């Protein structure tokens, strides 16, 4: 295919006229497809429905240790749920606290705790003149919203195929005591789908923070969310590497079963050093008597162990794979060689990241919406919702059916082509 930038003005105008006819045809269909968020589809949710039958009014409600899950107790979660989440996160059970259904809630609480009470005895952030967070971009919009709501200054850090720009990370963390944290989605990143290389993880573990209360917020949301059985990314264990490097307290790890069991009623966990966990539990003792232990019991009895989790996620992969491939095949077939966009083929996670020509993302998203295809707002993958290039678009293929994804992908590439032509004609 001839690159659009190499076409004459007349060629572009002729192509635009043909594409506008396609656009009218699509508009007449009146489609309504939502790809705005990474929600599991109905077929995925159905996989966990038998979980609702493993605990009922006739069940033994006691844990392995004999604790009654109907009553108070087990602030840090029931032992078998801590073991299940520990195995999923690749850490020891003693390093884990199991909470409610949302790991995002734990992240919010962890930042809030630091604002109000400091980090393990340090000065509360609310009493400091300046607090900064590093934000790998494109990244997870809900991470950025947490730091934004607390008035924390966010500093974008570019990502490449290996992870964040570690030269920049080291420069900020090692030299600026106002830098208190960094958001990370290390495996099948949201939205790029890349996984951090061993070198990147090791450089994280070997940081020398200027601030004693600096922490890595390691959101391992997609740790077992593979799309392919024979192509699975693996990353180094950050907690182990931090311990080796003499920085045992430097990382908080977060995970949940939100995209494994039920997004609205899964279980979540934070893992960290024993020192950090002790500080967290001291605050939690005031905050709550404990989270939903019956739900924790339900998860353990349904999944049983890490092998049960992995077997369940294999079924998820089989359902998700056709949806991702519907998007990727359309991008390959329709846009390869045109030089109006780039994308990464992920091996797991929930998103496909598309980079349009600079100055085109908002217009593409708006045009798609006019045809009934709703995407995540352009700019959402950057702090403050401001993509300086107006280029990145996050595609979430999980919720629609594979057939709907094929239709949505065709509309997406049509809009990419039209907006790109307009941009080139302007130039």
Question: Which residue from 150, 325, 127 is spatially nearest to 227, judged by alpha carbons?
Answer: 325
Torsions phi, psi of 245, nearest 5? -85, 0
Q: What is the pLDDT of residue 137?
A: 98
pLDDT tens for each residue of 49-98 = 999 999 999 999 999 999 999 999 999 999 999 999 999 999 999 999 99
Integer Cα distance of 313 and 319 in angstroms: 10
Block residue for tokens 């720009």: 165
Q: How sure is the predictor about 171, in pLDDT bands with cuts at 50, 70 and 90? A: very high
Q: What is the pLDDT of residue 314?
A: 98
Q: Which of 76-80, 110-114, 326-330, 400-404 has the lowest mean pLDDT?
A: 400-404
Q: What is the rounded end-to-end Cα distance, in angstroms, of the chain? A: 21
pLDDT tens for each residue of 329-375 = 999 999 999 999 999 999 999 999 999 999 999 999 999 999 999 99
Length of the chain: 427
In this structure, which long-range contacts are made by residues 169-175, counting pairs with CB atoms below 8 Å and at least 24 apart in sequence?
Answer: 169/134, 169/203, 169/204, 169/207, 170/203, 170/207, 172/132, 172/134, 173/134, 173/207, 173/208, 173/209, 173/210, 173/214, 174/207, 174/208, 174/209, 174/210, 175/210
Q: C-alpha distances in angstroms, 84 versus 206, 294, 306? A: 29, 15, 6
Cis peptide before 82 (omega within 30 of 0): no
Helix or strand or coil: residue 376?
A: coil
Helices (H), 185-305: 198-205, 238-244, 274-287, 293-303
Q: What is the pLDDT of residue 223?
A: 97
Q: Which helix (H) or strand (E) holds 416?
A: helix 402-426
Question: Which residue from 107, 104, 94 is spatially nearest to 38, judged by alpha carbons?
Answer: 104
Q: What is the pLDDT of residue 68?
A: 97
Residue 1 pLDDT greater than 80, yes or no:
no
Average pLDDT, the chain: 96
Q: Which domains does the chain have, with CATH numbers?
A: 4-44+310-426 (3.90.1150.10), 61-304 (3.40.640.10)
Integer Cα distance of 73 and 106 in angstroms: 19
Q: What is the pLDDT of residue 388?
A: 97
Mode of pairing for the β-strands spanning 163-164 and 153-160 = antiparallel
Q: What is the pLDDT of residue 31?
A: 83
Q: What is the pTM of this model?
A: 0.96
Q: What is the pLDDT of residue 423?
A: 97
> Which residues lie across from 132 on neighbouring strands?
153, 179
24 burial class (0-12, 13-18, 19+ CB within 10 angstroms)?
A: exposed
Q: How sure is the predictor about 30, in pLDDT bands with cuts at 50, 70 and 90? A: confident
């Amino acid at each position: 295919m001839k690159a659009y930038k190499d076409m004459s003005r007349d060629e572009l105008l002729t192509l635009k006229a043909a594409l506008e006819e396609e656009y009218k045809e699509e508009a007449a269909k009146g489609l309504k497809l939502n790809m705005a968020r990474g929600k599991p589809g109905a077929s995925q949710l159905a996989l966990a429905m038998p979980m609702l039958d493993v605990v009922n009014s006739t069940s033994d409600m006691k844990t392995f240790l004999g604790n009654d899950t109907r009553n108070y107790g087990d602030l840090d979660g029931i032992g078998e749920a801590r073991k299940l989440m520990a195995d999923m996160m690749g850490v020891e059970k003693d390093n884990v606290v199991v909470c409610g259904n949302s790991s995002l809630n734990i992240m919010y609480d962890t930042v809030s705790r630091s604002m109000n009470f400091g980090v393990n005895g340090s000065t509360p952030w609310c009493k400091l003149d300046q607090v900064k967070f590093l934000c790998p971009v494109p990244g997870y919009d809900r991470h950025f919203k947490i730091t934004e709501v607390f008035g924390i200054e966010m500093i974008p850090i570019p990502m490449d195929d290996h992870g964040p720009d570690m030269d920049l990370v080291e420069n900020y963390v090692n030299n600026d005591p106002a830098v208190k944290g960094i958001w990370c989605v290390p495996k099948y990143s949201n939205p790029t789908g890349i996984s951090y290389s061993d070198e990147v993880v090791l450089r994280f573990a070997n940081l020398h923070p200027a601030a004693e209360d600096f922490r890595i917020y390691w959101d391992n949301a997609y740790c077992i969310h593979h799309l392919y059985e024979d192509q699975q990314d693996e990353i180094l264990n950050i907690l182990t590497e931090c311990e080796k490097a003499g920085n045992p307290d430097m990382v908080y790890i977060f995970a949940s079963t939100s995209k494994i069991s039920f997004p609205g009623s899964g279980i979540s966990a934070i893992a960290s050093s024993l020192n950090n966990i002790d500080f967290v539990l001291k605050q939690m003792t005031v905050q709550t008597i404990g989270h939903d232990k019956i739900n924790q019991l339900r998860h353990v009895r349904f999944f049983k162990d890490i092998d049960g989790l992995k077997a369940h996620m294999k079924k998820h992969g089989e359902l998700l794979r056709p949806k991702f491939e519907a998007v990727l095949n359309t991008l390959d077939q329709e846009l390869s060689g045109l030089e109006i966009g780039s994308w990464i083929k992920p091996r797991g996670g929930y998103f496909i990241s598309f980079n349009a020509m600079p100055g085109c993302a908002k217009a593409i998203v708006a045009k798609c919406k006019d045809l009934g295809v709703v995407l995540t707002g352009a700019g959402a993958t950057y702090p403050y919702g401001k993509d300086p290039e107006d280029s990145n678009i996050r595609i979430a293929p999980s919720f629609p059916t594979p057939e709907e994804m094929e239709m949505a992908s065709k509309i997406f590439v049509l809009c990419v082509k039209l907006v790109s032509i307009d941009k080139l004609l302007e130039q």
